[in-house]
Protein backbone atom coordinates (compact mmCIF):
# COMPACT_ATOMS: atom_id res chain seq x y z
CA UNK A 1 0.00 0.00 0.00
CA UNK A 2 0.98 3.62 -0.31
CA UNK A 3 2.25 5.47 2.72
CA UNK A 4 -0.58 5.45 5.23
CA UNK A 5 -1.16 6.59 8.79
CA UNK A 6 -2.91 3.51 10.18
CA UNK A 7 -4.01 3.54 13.79
CA UNK A 8 -2.32 0.69 15.71
CA UNK A 9 -1.79 -1.19 12.44
CA UNK A 10 1.55 -2.88 11.89
CA UNK A 11 2.92 -1.98 8.46
CA UNK A 12 4.56 -4.44 6.05
CA UNK A 13 8.14 -5.35 6.93
CA UNK A 14 9.36 -4.19 3.50
CA UNK A 15 7.95 -0.71 4.15
CA UNK A 16 9.57 -0.26 7.55
CA UNK A 17 12.85 -2.03 6.83
CA UNK A 18 15.66 -0.62 8.95
CA UNK A 19 13.25 1.32 11.18
CA UNK A 20 12.34 0.98 14.85
CA UNK A 21 8.59 1.62 14.95
CA UNK A 22 6.33 -0.88 13.21
CA UNK A 23 3.36 1.45 12.61
CA UNK A 24 2.55 5.05 11.75
CA UNK A 25 -0.62 6.01 13.62
CA UNK A 26 -1.92 9.53 13.15
CA UNK A 27 -0.80 12.16 15.66
CA UNK A 28 -2.96 12.50 18.75
CA UNK A 29 -4.03 16.03 17.79
CA UNK A 30 -5.27 15.10 14.34
CA UNK A 31 -9.07 15.28 13.80
CA UNK A 32 -9.15 12.09 11.73
CA UNK A 33 -7.30 8.78 11.59
CA UNK A 34 -6.29 7.05 8.37
CA UNK A 35 -6.23 3.28 8.34
CA UNK A 36 -5.10 0.76 5.77
CA UNK A 37 -7.59 -1.90 4.69
CA UNK A 38 -8.03 -4.73 2.22
CA UNK A 39 -10.20 -3.51 -0.68
CA UNK A 40 -10.82 -7.04 -1.95
CA UNK A 41 -8.92 -6.66 -5.22
CA UNK A 42 -6.34 -9.40 -5.70
CA UNK A 43 -3.79 -7.10 -7.29
CA UNK A 44 -0.13 -6.99 -6.45
CA UNK A 45 1.11 -3.61 -5.26
CA UNK A 46 4.72 -2.51 -5.13
CA UNK A 47 5.89 -2.12 -1.54
CA UNK A 48 8.91 0.14 -1.08
CA UNK A 49 10.73 1.26 2.07
CA UNK A 50 9.74 4.62 3.53
CA UNK A 51 12.29 7.22 2.52
CA UNK A 52 13.72 9.97 4.69
CA UNK A 53 12.29 13.47 4.20
CA UNK A 54 14.12 16.52 5.52
CA UNK A 55 12.53 19.91 6.13
CA UNK A 56 14.21 23.15 7.19
CA UNK A 57 13.01 25.13 10.19
CA UNK A 58 13.82 28.78 10.86
CA UNK A 59 13.07 29.40 14.55
CA UNK A 60 13.46 32.82 16.14
CA UNK A 61 15.19 31.41 19.23
CA UNK A 62 17.17 28.23 19.85
CA UNK A 63 17.45 27.79 23.63
CA UNK A 64 14.60 25.83 25.21
CA UNK A 65 13.93 26.35 28.92
CA UNK A 66 12.44 23.98 31.50
CA UNK A 67 11.55 24.21 35.18
CA UNK A 68 11.44 20.48 35.95
CA UNK A 69 12.76 19.92 39.49
CA UNK A 70 14.14 16.44 38.71
CA UNK A 71 16.26 17.48 35.70
CA UNK A 72 19.78 18.82 36.38
CA UNK A 73 19.65 21.59 33.78
CA UNK A 74 17.26 24.41 32.91
CA UNK A 75 18.20 25.01 29.26
CA UNK A 76 18.86 22.94 26.18
CA UNK A 77 19.41 23.14 22.43
CA UNK A 78 18.08 20.70 19.85
CA UNK A 79 19.40 21.06 16.32
CA UNK A 80 16.93 18.54 14.89
CA UNK A 81 13.32 17.42 15.23
CA UNK A 82 12.72 13.71 14.91
CA UNK A 83 15.55 11.20 15.02
CA UNK A 84 16.64 8.68 12.42
CA UNK A 85 18.19 6.42 15.04
CA UNK A 86 14.66 5.04 15.34
CA UNK A 87 14.78 3.94 18.99
CA UNK A 88 11.30 2.50 19.47
CA UNK A 89 11.17 3.47 23.15
CA UNK A 90 12.28 7.11 22.67
CA UNK A 91 10.39 9.39 25.06
CA UNK A 92 10.67 12.24 22.51
CA UNK A 93 8.48 10.53 19.92
CA UNK A 94 5.22 12.14 21.13
CA UNK A 95 6.62 15.61 20.36
CA UNK A 96 6.15 14.90 16.65
CA UNK A 97 2.40 15.18 17.20
CA UNK A 98 2.86 18.95 17.62
CA UNK A 99 3.95 19.00 13.97
CA UNK A 100 0.85 17.12 12.86
CA UNK A 101 2.94 13.99 12.33
CA UNK A 102 3.02 10.47 13.73
CA UNK A 103 5.13 9.44 16.70
CA UNK A 104 5.73 6.21 14.79
CA UNK A 105 7.56 5.99 11.50
CA UNK A 106 7.15 9.71 10.83
CA UNK A 107 9.35 10.47 13.85
CA UNK A 108 12.29 8.62 12.33
CA UNK A 109 11.73 9.48 8.65
CA UNK A 110 10.19 12.98 8.49
CA UNK A 111 12.91 15.10 10.03
CA UNK A 112 13.54 18.80 10.55
CA UNK A 113 16.88 20.61 10.65
CA UNK A 114 17.71 24.01 12.14
CA UNK A 115 20.72 25.22 10.12
CA UNK A 116 20.68 28.65 11.78
CA UNK A 117 21.13 27.22 15.27
CA UNK A 118 24.69 28.44 15.84
CA UNK A 119 23.86 32.02 14.84
CA UNK A 120 20.83 32.05 17.14
CA UNK A 121 22.92 30.68 20.00
CA UNK A 122 25.52 33.38 19.48
CA UNK A 123 22.74 35.98 19.50
CA UNK A 124 21.42 34.63 22.80
CA UNK A 125 24.87 34.69 24.41
CA UNK A 126 25.46 38.27 23.22
CA UNK A 127 22.40 39.49 25.11
CA UNK A 128 23.77 41.43 28.11
CA UNK A 129 21.03 39.93 30.30
CA UNK A 130 22.12 36.35 29.55
CA UNK A 131 23.49 34.47 32.59
CA UNK A 132 25.42 31.26 31.78
CA UNK A 133 24.52 27.84 33.18
CA UNK A 134 25.14 24.33 31.80
CA UNK A 135 23.37 23.89 28.47
CA UNK A 136 22.31 20.39 27.42
CA UNK A 137 22.50 18.96 23.89
CA UNK A 138 20.60 15.79 23.05
CA UNK A 139 17.69 16.20 25.45
CA UNK A 140 14.97 15.60 22.86
CA UNK A 141 16.63 14.13 19.78
CA UNK A 142 20.18 12.95 19.27
CA UNK A 143 22.62 15.70 18.22
CA UNK A 144 24.70 13.07 16.40
CA UNK A 145 21.98 11.28 14.47
CA UNK A 146 22.88 10.44 10.82
CA UNK A 147 21.74 13.88 9.61
CA UNK A 148 24.64 15.48 11.48
CA UNK A 149 27.17 13.90 9.13
CA UNK A 150 25.68 15.97 6.31
CA UNK A 151 24.50 19.15 8.07
CA UNK A 152 27.15 19.52 10.83
CA UNK A 153 24.84 21.72 12.90
CA UNK A 154 25.99 20.20 16.19
CA UNK A 155 29.58 20.89 15.22
CA UNK A 156 28.76 24.56 14.61
CA UNK A 157 27.01 24.77 17.99
CA UNK A 158 30.06 23.33 19.75
CA UNK A 159 32.28 25.91 18.07
CA UNK A 160 30.13 28.69 19.52
CA UNK A 161 30.07 27.10 22.98
CA UNK A 162 33.86 26.85 23.07
CA UNK A 163 34.32 30.37 21.71
CA UNK A 164 32.17 31.78 24.52
CA UNK A 165 33.60 29.40 27.13
CA UNK A 166 30.07 28.25 27.89
CA UNK A 167 29.44 25.08 29.97
CA UNK A 168 27.53 22.26 28.28
CA UNK A 169 26.72 18.56 28.24
CA UNK A 170 26.00 16.10 25.45
CA UNK A 171 23.81 12.98 25.54
CA UNK A 172 24.08 10.67 22.55
CA UNK A 173 23.92 7.11 21.25
CA UNK A 174 26.35 7.77 18.43
CA UNK A 175 30.08 7.19 18.08
CA UNK A 176 30.06 10.17 15.69
CA UNK A 177 30.70 12.30 18.77
CA UNK A 178 34.37 11.29 18.45
CA UNK A 179 34.54 13.39 15.27
CA UNK A 180 34.41 16.47 17.49
CA UNK A 181 37.04 15.26 19.97
CA UNK A 182 39.19 18.29 19.13
CA UNK A 183 36.57 20.75 20.40
CA UNK A 184 35.51 18.51 23.28
CA UNK A 185 39.11 18.03 24.38
CA UNK A 186 39.69 21.78 24.48
CA UNK A 187 36.42 22.28 26.37
CA UNK A 188 37.40 19.54 28.83
CA UNK A 189 40.69 21.27 29.64
CA UNK A 190 38.63 24.29 30.66
CA UNK A 191 36.19 22.19 32.72
CA UNK A 192 33.24 23.04 30.47
CA UNK A 193 31.90 19.70 29.21
CA UNK A 194 30.38 16.35 30.18
CA UNK A 195 29.45 13.62 27.66
CA UNK A 196 26.83 10.99 28.50
CA UNK A 197 26.73 7.89 26.31
CA UNK A 198 23.38 6.09 26.38
CA UNK A 199 23.58 2.29 26.23
CA UNK A 200 20.42 0.21 26.52
CA UNK A 201 21.82 -3.24 25.83
CA UNK A 202 25.09 -4.94 24.91
CA UNK A 203 23.19 -7.48 22.79
CA UNK A 204 23.95 -6.53 19.18
CA UNK A 205 20.86 -8.27 17.78
CA UNK A 206 18.48 -6.68 20.29
CA UNK A 207 20.02 -3.27 19.75
CA UNK A 208 19.50 -3.61 16.01
CA UNK A 209 15.80 -4.27 16.56
CA UNK A 210 15.19 -1.54 19.17
CA UNK A 211 17.51 1.23 17.93
CA UNK A 212 18.25 0.24 14.33
CA UNK A 213 20.27 3.25 13.14
CA UNK A 214 22.15 4.13 16.31
CA UNK A 215 25.77 3.08 16.70
CA UNK A 216 26.28 -0.47 17.92
CA UNK A 217 26.85 -0.88 21.66
CA UNK A 218 30.48 -1.80 20.98
CA UNK A 219 31.04 1.42 19.02
CA UNK A 220 29.56 3.45 21.85
CA UNK A 221 32.00 1.87 24.29
CA UNK A 222 34.77 2.69 21.82
CA UNK A 223 33.59 6.32 21.76
CA UNK A 224 33.80 6.51 25.56
CA UNK A 225 37.33 5.16 25.36
CA UNK A 226 38.38 7.66 22.69
CA UNK A 227 36.89 10.67 24.47
CA UNK A 228 38.29 9.61 27.84
CA UNK A 229 41.74 9.43 26.28
CA UNK A 230 41.29 13.09 25.31
CA UNK A 231 40.43 13.99 28.88
CA UNK A 232 36.70 14.41 28.25
CA UNK A 233 34.65 13.45 31.36
CA UNK A 234 32.26 10.68 30.30
CA UNK A 235 29.35 8.98 31.98
CA UNK A 236 27.26 6.02 30.91
CA UNK A 237 23.49 6.30 30.91
CA UNK A 238 22.06 2.79 31.18
CA UNK A 239 18.72 3.77 29.74
CA UNK A 240 16.10 2.87 29.34
CA UNK A 241 16.30 -0.22 31.50
CA UNK A 242 13.42 -2.36 30.29
CA UNK A 243 12.13 -4.87 32.85
CA UNK A 244 12.45 -8.51 31.79
CA UNK A 245 14.13 -7.46 28.55
CA UNK A 246 17.29 -5.42 29.17
CA UNK A 247 17.42 -4.58 32.88
CA UNK A 248 19.40 -7.75 33.64
CA UNK A 249 22.26 -6.13 31.71
CA UNK A 250 22.61 -3.12 34.01
CA UNK A 251 25.73 -4.41 35.77
CA UNK A 252 27.33 -5.53 32.50
CA UNK A 253 26.67 -2.20 30.77
CA UNK A 254 28.09 -0.14 33.63
CA UNK A 255 31.12 -2.39 34.09
CA UNK A 256 31.91 -2.31 30.36
CA UNK A 257 31.60 1.48 30.28
CA UNK A 258 33.82 1.89 33.33
CA UNK A 259 36.38 -0.36 31.64
CA UNK A 260 36.25 2.02 28.67
CA UNK A 261 36.83 5.09 30.84
CA UNK A 262 33.42 6.25 32.10
CA UNK A 263 33.62 8.02 35.47
CA UNK A 264 29.92 8.21 36.35
CA UNK A 265 26.81 6.14 35.70
CA UNK A 266 23.04 6.56 35.86
CA UNK A 267 20.03 4.48 34.88
CA UNK A 268 16.40 5.22 34.04
CA UNK A 269 13.58 2.64 33.79
CA UNK A 270 11.52 2.63 30.60
CA UNK A 271 8.92 5.39 30.38
CA UNK A 272 5.91 5.10 28.07
CA UNK A 273 4.12 8.47 27.83
CA UNK A 274 1.37 9.09 25.26
CA UNK A 275 1.93 7.13 22.03
CA UNK A 276 4.95 5.22 23.34
CA UNK A 277 2.75 2.70 25.13
CA UNK A 278 1.11 1.63 21.85
CA UNK A 279 4.30 1.74 19.81
CA UNK A 280 6.18 -0.40 22.32
CA UNK A 281 3.35 -2.91 22.60
CA UNK A 282 3.37 -3.29 18.82
CA UNK A 283 7.13 -3.72 18.87
CA UNK A 284 6.80 -6.46 21.49
CA UNK A 285 4.09 -8.16 19.41
CA UNK A 286 6.45 -8.15 16.43
CA UNK A 287 9.82 -8.94 17.99
CA UNK A 288 9.28 -10.42 21.46
CA UNK A 289 5.71 -11.74 21.78
CA UNK A 290 6.77 -14.39 24.31
CA UNK A 291 8.00 -11.69 26.69
CA UNK A 292 5.27 -9.12 26.17
CA UNK A 293 3.01 -9.92 29.13
CA UNK A 294 5.89 -10.11 31.59
CA UNK A 295 7.56 -6.93 30.36
CA UNK A 296 4.35 -4.90 30.52
CA UNK A 297 3.43 -6.29 33.95
CA UNK A 298 6.72 -5.11 35.46
CA UNK A 299 6.52 -1.74 33.71
CA UNK A 300 3.11 -1.13 35.28
CA UNK A 301 4.43 -2.26 38.66
CA UNK A 302 7.25 0.29 38.44
CA UNK A 303 4.85 3.09 37.52
CA UNK A 304 2.19 2.55 40.17
CA UNK A 305 -0.04 0.23 38.14
CA UNK A 306 -0.06 2.51 35.08
CA UNK A 307 1.87 2.48 31.82
CA UNK A 308 3.53 5.71 32.93
CA UNK A 309 3.54 7.91 36.01
CA UNK A 310 4.57 11.48 35.13
CA UNK A 311 5.03 12.62 38.74
CA UNK A 312 8.23 14.56 39.35
CA UNK A 313 10.61 12.76 41.62
CA UNK A 314 9.33 9.27 40.79
CA UNK A 315 9.03 9.28 36.98
CA UNK A 316 12.78 8.71 36.50
CA UNK A 317 13.10 5.93 39.12
CA UNK A 318 9.66 4.43 39.64
CA UNK A 319 8.18 2.98 42.81
CA UNK A 320 7.40 -0.43 44.24
CA UNK A 321 9.43 -3.61 44.81
CA UNK A 322 10.80 -3.98 41.28
CA UNK A 323 11.96 -0.36 41.16
CA UNK A 324 13.55 -0.77 44.59
CA UNK A 325 15.39 -3.86 43.38
CA UNK A 326 16.76 -2.00 40.36
CA UNK A 327 17.97 0.82 42.63
CA UNK A 328 19.62 -1.65 45.01
CA UNK A 329 21.41 -3.37 42.14
CA UNK A 330 22.59 -0.01 40.83
CA UNK A 331 23.89 0.96 44.27
CA UNK A 332 25.92 -2.25 44.47
CA UNK A 333 27.54 -1.89 41.03
CA UNK A 334 28.09 1.82 41.63
CA UNK A 335 30.02 1.06 44.82
CA UNK A 336 31.87 -1.88 43.30
CA UNK A 337 33.17 0.21 40.40
CA UNK A 338 34.02 3.17 42.68
CA UNK A 339 32.11 5.61 40.51
CA UNK A 340 31.73 9.22 41.58
CA UNK A 341 29.75 12.20 40.40
CA UNK A 342 31.51 14.25 37.72
CA UNK A 343 32.79 17.66 38.78
CA UNK A 344 30.32 20.42 37.84
CA UNK A 345 31.05 22.32 34.64
CA UNK A 346 32.57 25.73 35.19
CA UNK A 347 30.34 28.74 34.58
CA UNK A 348 32.82 31.41 35.64
CA UNK A 349 34.83 31.33 32.40
CA UNK A 350 32.01 32.64 30.21
CA UNK A 351 33.13 35.50 28.00
CA UNK A 352 31.78 37.34 25.01
CA UNK A 353 34.50 37.48 22.37
CA UNK A 354 35.27 40.89 20.87
CA UNK A 355 33.67 41.64 17.52
CA UNK A 356 35.14 43.43 14.56
CA UNK A 357 32.59 46.20 15.02
CA UNK A 358 33.72 46.90 18.58
CA UNK A 359 35.47 50.25 18.99
CA UNK A 360 39.19 49.91 19.68
CA UNK A 361 40.48 51.15 23.00
CA UNK A 362 42.81 54.00 22.02
CA UNK A 363 44.42 53.93 25.44
CA UNK A 364 45.32 50.20 25.29
CA UNK A 365 49.13 50.12 25.20
CA UNK A 366 49.44 46.32 25.21
| Residue of higher predicted confidence among 338 and 357 | 338
Provide the residue count of the chain: 366
pTM of the model: 0.91
Kindly state whether residue 144 falls inside one of the protein's structural domains.
yes
pLDDT in tens, 104-146: 999 999 999 999 999 999 999 999 999 999 999 999 999 999 9
- Please indicate, yes or no, if residue 192 is contained in any of the structural domains: yes
Q: Write out pLDDT tens, residues 321-351.
A: 999 999 999 999 999 999 999 999 999 999 9
| CA quadruple 283, 173, 138, 200: dihedral sign | positive
Residue 67's CATH number: 3.80.30.30
Confirm whether 227 is domain-assigned: yes
Pick the closest to residue 80 from 107, 120, 117, 114 (CA basis).
Answer: 114
Q: Is the residue at 346 inside a domain?
A: no
Short-list 147, 144, 146, 145, CA closest to 158: 144
The neighbouring-strand residues paired with 77 are 63, 137
Predicted confidence band of residue 41 (pLDDT cuts 50, 70, 90): low
Range of the domain at 85: 53-336
Neighbouring CB atoms inside 10 A of 104's CB total 29
Mean per-residue pLDDT of the chain:
92
Tally the domains of the chain: 1
CB neighbourhood size of 81 (10 A) = 21
Host H or E run for residue 284: helix 276-287
Q: Is 341 left (phi over 0), alpha (psi -120 to 50) or beta?
A: beta
Quick check: is 138 in a domain?
yes
Amino acid sequence: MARMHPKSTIMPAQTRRGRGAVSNASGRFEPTNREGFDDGWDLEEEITPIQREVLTEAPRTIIARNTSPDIPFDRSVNAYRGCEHGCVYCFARPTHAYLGLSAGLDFETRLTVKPDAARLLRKAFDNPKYIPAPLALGTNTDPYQPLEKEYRITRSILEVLLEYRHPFSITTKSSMVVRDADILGDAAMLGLVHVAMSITTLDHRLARLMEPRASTPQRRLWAIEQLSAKGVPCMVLAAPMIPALTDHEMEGIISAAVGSGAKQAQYIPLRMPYEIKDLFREWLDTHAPDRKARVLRYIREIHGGKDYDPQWGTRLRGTGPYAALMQARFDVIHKKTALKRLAPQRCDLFQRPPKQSDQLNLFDTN
